[in-house]
Amino acid sequence: MTQIILNGLFVGSFYALIALGYSMVYGIIKLLNFAHGDIFMFGAYIGMTCLTVIPGIGSLGIGAIAIVLLISALLTGATGVLIETLAYRPLRSAPRLSVLITAVGMSFLLEYGVRQIWGPDPQPWPQAGRLTEAANWPAGLQWGAQRIDILGGSLTGAQLVLMALAVVLMAVLALYIGKTREGRAMRAIALDKRAATLMGINVNATISRVFFIGSALAGVAGVMHGAYYSSITFLMGFLLGLKAFTAAVIGGIGNLYGAMLGGLTLGLLEAFGTAWFGGEWKDVFAFVFLIAFLTLRPTGILGERVVERM
């Protein structure tokens, strides 16, 4: 039981990190960014490439992963900004359908662009960047590759580190959105873009910033995924992106805490579903929950009641 909960929370923290990007973008420009899951995948590929290309990085052990995380976050963030500027911005006043289709096209471009460069087969994550390898953990931190007992269940140290990282990132993001000038601008645009413009907020710059942060988080999640699961494919963003979106909806789309809560909830639901119904149905649960939530409570757990307009 505890083990199921722990597994669920671990997977859920991935969902939450990706869901944040979905939710932020949706909150600010009401766009369902289909390419978001693929940014996650792209982040993993960037990470993998860095680990193979940068000379001497293999000897750094756990430090290598930290460096790669940073590079990957910056590059995916930039990719997100680029996508927004080139593909979404010109269509900002176009019908919603056009923008959605463009997002699907972008997702395709990322998936098959990556396939073009790195090939269609799953890629092994370099040994030096694997969190599960005991050799990568410096002396004194050997617990990182071992299992640690928690309340009758157990997680590996790597899992704990990743969860902690996710929590830290989310806390920083919450502070940024809640306390800073830029965060306030984001919230203002989410509420009323036109009024925000009139108040002198640079809407384009703020939207770019949102894309940067959301994509960077997805990139981080991509590297974490690679470092933990040791194998990446060009299609891995599709399913994970879908689930992250489900998480965002469950939590209440457009709401940051909702995305975090939704991610963990979905992780738990999936863990229990797998335990009870078998692993082959794992991918179906998320969508069944999605449909159930949209039917029963479309605003999600934390979503506010919107003024009812028929």
Partner 1 sequence: MSLPMIDPSALLTTHPEAVPRPETLLEVKNLRLAFGGVVAVDGLNMNVHRGEIVSVIGPNGAGKTSAFNCITGFYRPDSGEIAFMGKSIIRTRPSKITRMGMARTFQNLRLFSDMSILDNVRTGAHAHLRQHWFDAFLHTPAYRKTERACEEDARYWLDFVGFTGDTLLYVTQLPYGEQRRVEIARALATNPKLLLLDEPAAGLNHTEKRGLVDLIRRVRDLDIAVVLIEHDMGLVMDISERIIVLNYGKEIADGAPDDIRANPLVIEAYLGAGDDEEPADGADQASADPGQPLPPAPPSLPEASATADRSDGGEARR
Partner 2 sequence: MESLKTYFSGQRGVYHGIAIAVVVAVFALPFITIDAYTIQLATQALIYVLLALGLNVVVGYAGLLDLGYVAFYAVGAYTSGILTTRLGWPMWATIPAVVAACVLAGVVIGGPTLRLRSDYLAIVTLGFGEIIRVTAQNLSITGGPSGIFGIPTWSFGSWSFNDGLTVGGLFFNGKILLYYFVAIVVMVLGLIGIPRLANGRLGRAWRAVRDDEDAAEAMGVNTYTTKITAYIIGAVWAGLAGQLNASLITTISPTSFQFLQSALVLMAVVIGGMGSVPGVVLGALFITLAPELLRDVWENRSLMFGILLLAVMLFRPKGLWPATSILPWSRDKHRAKVDTKPAQARAEEV
List residues near partner 2 by CB under 8 A. Answer: 30-32, 34, 87, 90-91, 94-98, 100-102, 104-109, 111-113, 115-116, 238-239, 242, 245-246, 249, 280-281, 283-284, 286-288, 290-291, 294-295, 298, 310
> Residue 233, SS3?
coil
Long-range contacts, 200-206 (Cβ 8 Å, 24+): 204/89, 206/28, 206/182
Q: Which helix (H) or strand (E) holds 168?
A: helix 157-179
Whose Cβ is closer to partner 2: residue 49's or residue 107's? 107
Q: Which entry of partner 2, partner 1, none binds 125, CB below 5 to 8 A by partner kind? A: none
When asked if residue 192 is in the footprint of partner 1 (CB under 8 A), the reply is yes
The verdict on 30 binding partner 1 (CB under 8 A) reads: yes
Minimum distance from residue 31 beta carbon to partner 1 (Å) = 11
Tokens 């640690």 appear where? 148
Q: What number of other Cβ atoms are within 10 A of residue 95's Cβ?
A: 9
In DSSP terms, which residues pair with 147 in a beta bridge?
156
Rule CB under 8 A: choose which of 66, 195, 239, 284 binds partner 1. 195
**Should residue 194 be labelled a site residue for partner 1 when binding is judged by CB under 8 A?**
yes
Instruction: Among 140, 198, 200, 296, indicate the residue that binds partner 1 (CB under 8 A).
Output: 198
Per-residue exposure over 68-78, b if at least 16 CB sit within 10 Å of its own CB, e if not:
bbebbbebbbe
Distance of closest approach, residue 298 Cβ to partner 2, in angstroms? 5
Q: What are phi and psi of 50, to 5 degrees?
A: -60, -45
- The site partner of 164 among partner 2, partner 1, none (C-beta below 5 to 8 Å per kind) is none
* # of chain residues touching partner 1 (CB under 8 A): 12
Rg (CA), the chain: 19
CA of 87: how far to CAs of 27, 34, 148, 238, in Å?
18, 12, 46, 19
Residue 198 touches which of partner 1, partner 2, none (CB < 5 to 8 A by kind)?
partner 1
Tell me how far, at minimum, the Cβ of 101 lies from partner 1, in Å. Answer: 16
- Look up residue 221 and give its amino acid: A
Closest approach of partner 2 to the CB of residue 283, in Å = 5
List of residues contacting partner 1 (CB under 8 A): 30, 93, 96, 192-195, 198, 307-310
